[in-house]
A and B are shown apart, each in its own frame.
Chain A
Amino acid sequence: MADVTTTAGLGPGPTASRRAVRGPRWLSQVTKFARRRTLGFAGGVVVVLMLLLAVFAPIVSPYDPEESSFLDQLKPPSREHLLGTDQFGRDVMSRLIYGAQTALVVGFGASVAGCSAGAILGLVGAYKGGKTDLLLERLNDVILSFPLIILAVAVVAALGTGLLNVIIAITIPIIPRVARVIRSSGLTLRQMQYVEAARALGVSDTRIIFRHLMPNVVAPYLILLSAFLGQAILLESSLSFLGLGVAEPKPAWGLMLRGAGVQFLEQAPWLAIAPGVAISAAVFAFNLLGDSLRDAFDPKLRV
C-alpha cells in the first residue's frame, strides 16, 4: 500500500472528485479510501457485514441456534438449511450468525480491554518515568516472557470456561504488547511543550495523561486494536481446540470448527467449511483493515 509520504501520482482520481462534489463529505472519504486502499476497504466491508449480522442476529437467523432436532442430523445444505445442519440437527447458518456475536464480543472485549489497559499503563510509564516506569517495564517483561497460550490455559483453568473468562484470558497477554508500543510514543510526547506547560500550570498527572497525552496516541491505539481483534478471534478458536473456550451449546466459530468440524470433516464437510471461512474472513478482514490504517496514519508503527 502507498504510504502517506509517497502520494505522488495517487491524488484523487476523477471518480473520487466527482463523488466528492455530489455526495456528502464522509462518502467521498470512504470512496477515496476504497480506491487508494482496496484491500483495506475490502476488510472494512467484511467487518461491517459481520457487525450487522451480529447485531441483527435474532432477525436474520432462520432458526434458533441452540434448538436440536434429531430428525435433521447432519443434513447437507438445502433450501431449508442453507448451510446444512450439524450433528444435533441444529441449523449451521443460524449458529454461524450467532457465532458472529460471540466472535465480536470476544474480539472486541479482549482487544478493547487489553489495548486500553495497555495504553494507560504505557502512558503512565512514559509520563512518570523513574521507578514507576522501571517497575511497569519489568512487569511487562514478566508477562511477555510467559508463553502466551499457557497463560491463557492457566487463567481459564483457574476461572473456568465461559465467555467472560475467555475474554480475560485473551486480554492479559495483549496488555504488555500494547503498553510497550504506546510507551515509546508517549516518551516523545512527554517532551512536548504543551505537556510541560500543563505541568507547570499545576495540572494533575491524571488529567495530563487523559486529556493531553491520550488524544495523541489514538492512531496507534486504533491500529493496535484492529490488529489484536483478529488475534483475539483466532486465539479463541485455539482455546476452543484445547477445550478451554466457550462451552456448547453456545454458538461459537472456534467451537464449531474444533468439535463437529474436525469429527465430521469427511462425512459432513459443510460443518467445517462454514466456521472455517468465517474465522479466516474475519481475521483477514481485521488484519487488512489494521494494515491500511497503519499505512495511512502511522507507517512507522510496528505491531
Chain B
Amino acid sequence: MGITRRSFLQSAAAMLAATACSTAATPASKPADTKPADTKPAGKEPATAAPTAPPKPATEAKPSGDAKPTAAAQPAAAGQPRSGGELQFIVSAEPPSFDAHRETTFAMLHPTAPHYSLLIKFDPDKYPEVMPDLAESWDISADKLTYTFKIRDGVKFHDGSPCTARDIKVSHDRIINPPEGIVSARKAQYAAVESVEAPDPRTVVFKLKYPSASLLSLLASPWNQIYSADKLASDPKFPEKNVLGTGPFKFVEYVPGSHWVGQKHPDYFQPGLPYLDGFRATFIRESAAQVAAVRGGRAHVEFRGFTPPARDDLVRALGDKITVQESPWVSNLLVVFNTEKKPFDDPRVRRAMNLALDRWEGSEALSKITFVKPVGALVRPGSTFARPDAELEKMEGFSRNVAAAREEARRLLREAGVPDGFSFTIKNRDIPQPYESNGVFVIDQWRRIGLNATQVQLEASGYVSDLRSGNYDVCIDFIADYLDEPDLQLSKFISSERSPFNYGRYQDAELDQLYDQQTRETDPEKRKQLVWRFENRVNNDQAYAFPILWWQRIVPHASTLQGYRVLPSHYLNQDLTNVWLSE
C-alpha cells in the first residue's frame, strides 16, 4: 500500500528541516549528528506514509487503494525548528504502571517514552531501519551470533548519575531473563538470545543461540526502556512507580485520571535537543471529547489517531490549522475460530466463511467510517515480507471475483453438510471503532452465504477471559505490534501450546516448523518465501484464522506541531526528541 513516491518526496522536503539526527543507522554508523540535518532522504521509499491532504468528506466515494495526497496540506512551511513551548497531547487510556518491560499498552508508552532512551531506535525517516540512541554504533559478527554495541560516553540519568553499559545489560536481562517476581511481557521474543554482557562501561555484547533475522529490530523495541541498574538493584520494581531515565524530558508530575507532565532535560546527550520546553499528556477516554479538545485548541494531537469522520470534521472546521498524517498500521482485525467447536472444526466451513468476505469492497466502504483500509494477509501489506496485490488476489478470500468466491463458499458448505447455513455468535470487543464496525461488516458478508451470526460484545476483561479460555465459537481478534516483523505477526498462528495468544486452540506442526525456519533465515528473499508458505497454510489450506482488514492510522494534528512523523505503529517515535512547535 504505501504512498506514491512523488508525494513522499514532497512531504519529505517539508519535513527535512525539522528532522535532526537522520544519520543512516547502518551497522557501525557514526554518532548521530545532533544538528538539524540537511541531508537528502534516502532514495529508497519507506513503507510509511507522509502527511496527506485533508481528505474529502467521507461521504464521497474515493478511488479504492490509497488516498491521493495533494500538496495543499503539507505541514506549514517548516523553516528552522524553534525551541520552546509545551506540547499538549491526548492519551486515550491510562498507564497501569510505568514499567515498560511489563506493560503492553500504548497508554504507558505515550507518556513515558519521552523520559527514556533505548539502546537503538527506529529511524522515523527510514522506518524500518534502525538508528543510534544510547548505542552510537554497532557491529555484527560474520556468523551473525554476536552483536557488539558501542555505548555513548557521558550520558547521565535525570538524577545526575552516569548511564553505562551496565545499565543497558541489566535492563535487557530484566526483559530477557526477568528475576523472580518480575513480569516481562515480551520475554518470548528474545528466545534467540543466549546472554547479554557488559565487558566494559562502553560496550554491550549480545550473544545468540542461533542466527536471528529479527534481532536488531527487536532490540529497537520502544518497550526496552533503559533503567538505572543501581535503582533496580535496590528495588527491582523501581520503574513501576518511578520515572528515572536518560531521555530528552524529565518527569514532573502524574495525576492519575488527569494528566502527566514532563519538562526538558537540560543535560540531554544530544545538545540543542529537545526543542520543546516540556509536554503535558492529558488522559481522555471518550473519543468525542478527544476530538473536541483538538478542535477547541486545547490539545495539539492524539498520537494514536482518529476516525475518518473526525478527521473530516476537524479539517472542515480548522482548515490549514490542522495537518493530517496517515499511515498504514501494523495492526489488523482477525476472524479466529474455536477449532474445537462444531462446525468450526471443519476446515471447509472456515474456508467458506473466508471466501464470503469481499475485502476490496469492504476496504472502500469501511475506510469511510473507521480506521481500517489496507487489504492484506498475515503480514502488513506494503511491508518487506508482504506480497504484492497481484499475488494477494490469488489467496483464498482475496479474489476480486466475489460472486465466484461465494459460489465456491456455498459449495464448501454443502460439502461440509451444512447446505442451509447455521446460526452462531461472534464475540467481539465493545469498542465501536474499528471493532464493532468490522463485526457488522463480517456478519453482513456471512448473511450472503446463508449464515446467521449474532454479535456479542464484551468489555476488554471479559473478552480476554473468554478468548483465552475458549469460551466462544467465532471471535474477532486483533494484532497490534510495534513493528513489521514476521516473528511477531506470525507468532499469533503457531500451535496454541507454543503461543499463549493463539486463541484458535489448534496444534499444527507444519506451521511451527515454517515459523522456526523463517526466524532463522537471514536471507530476505528466502525468508519471504517461507512467510508466504506460512500465510498460505493459515489462510488458504486451513483457514484457522484470517484477517478482515488492516488498520489505517489517521493522525490529524495542529499544524503548529512539527518534526513529528506518523509511523506504522502508534508505539513508535514517541520520544518527542525532534518535535517542535511553530508558535
Contacts from A to B (Cβ < 8 Å): 66-68, 70, 73-74, 87-89, 157, 160-162, 243-244, 247-250, 258-259, 262-264, 266-268
Contact = CB atoms under 8 A, between A and B. Distances in A.
B459 interface: yes
28 contacts: A66-B444, A66-B447, A70-B362, A70-B365, A73-B365, A73-B368, A74-B59, A87-B437, A88-B440, A160-B462, A161-B456, A243-B430, A243-B457, A247-B455, A247-B456, A247-B457, A248-B436, A248-B440, A248-B455, A250-B454, A258-B432, A259-B436, A262-B288, A263-B369, A263-B433, A266-B316, A267-B312, A268-B59
B443 interface: yes
B485 interface: no
A268 B59 CA distance: 9
A105 to B, nearest CB: 16
A67 B446 CA distance: 11
Nearest to B453: A249
A89 B61 CA distance: 13
B508 interface: no
Interface string B44-73: 000000000000011100000000000000
A94 to B, nearest CB: 15
A249 B459 contact: no
Interface string B501-540: 0000000000000000000000000000000000000000
Contacts of B77: none
Contacts of B456: 160-162, 247
Nearest to A153: B459
Contact of A88 (B307, B428, B432, B444): B444
Most buried by B among A66, A243, A247: A247
Interface size class of B (residues with CB under 8 A): 35 or more
A161 B436 contact: no
Contact of A267 (B58, B431, B437): B58
Contacts of B458: 160-161
A68 B444 contact: yes
A165 to B, nearest CB: 10
Contacts of A267: 57-59, 309, 312-313
Given A73-B368, A157-B462, A266-B313, A259 B457 contact: no
Interface in B351-385: 361-362, 364-365, 368-369
B439 interface: yes
A189 B547 CA distance: 66
Contacts of A264: 309
B441 interface: yes
Given A160-B462, A249-B440, A266-B313, A259 B432 contact: yes
A74 B364 CA distance: 14
A257 B439 CA distance: 18
List of 4 A-B pairs having minimum Cβ-Cβ separation, nearest first:
A243-B430, A70-B365, A68-B444, A87-B369
B442 to A, nearest CB: 11
Contacts of B428: 247
Contacts of B364: 70
B59 A68 contact: no
Contacts of B459: 157, 243-244
A68 B441 contact: yes
Contacts of A160: 456, 458, 462
Contacts of B444: 66-68, 88, 249
A161 B430 contact: yes
A171 B428 CA distance: 25
Nearest to A268: B59
Most buried by A among B365, B447, B454: B365
A252 to B, nearest CB: 12
Contact of A263 (B307, B316, B439): B307
Interface string B303-316: 00001011011001
B432 to A, nearest CB: 6
B356 to A, nearest CB: 13
A243 B432 contact: yes
Nearest to A243: B430
A249 B369 CA distance: 15
A146 B212 CA distance: 56
Contacts of A244: 430, 459
Most buried by A among B436, B444, B456: B444
Nearest to B358: A70
Contacts of A250: 454-455
Most buried by A among B316, B439, B457, B462: B457
B59 A73 contact: yes
Interface string B408-425: 000000000000000000
A74 B288 CA distance: 19
A157 B458 CA distance: 7
Contacts of B361: 70
Contacts of B433: 263
B214 to A, nearest CB: 36
A160 B459 CA distance: 9
A258 B287 CA distance: 11
Contacts of A73: 59, 365, 368-369
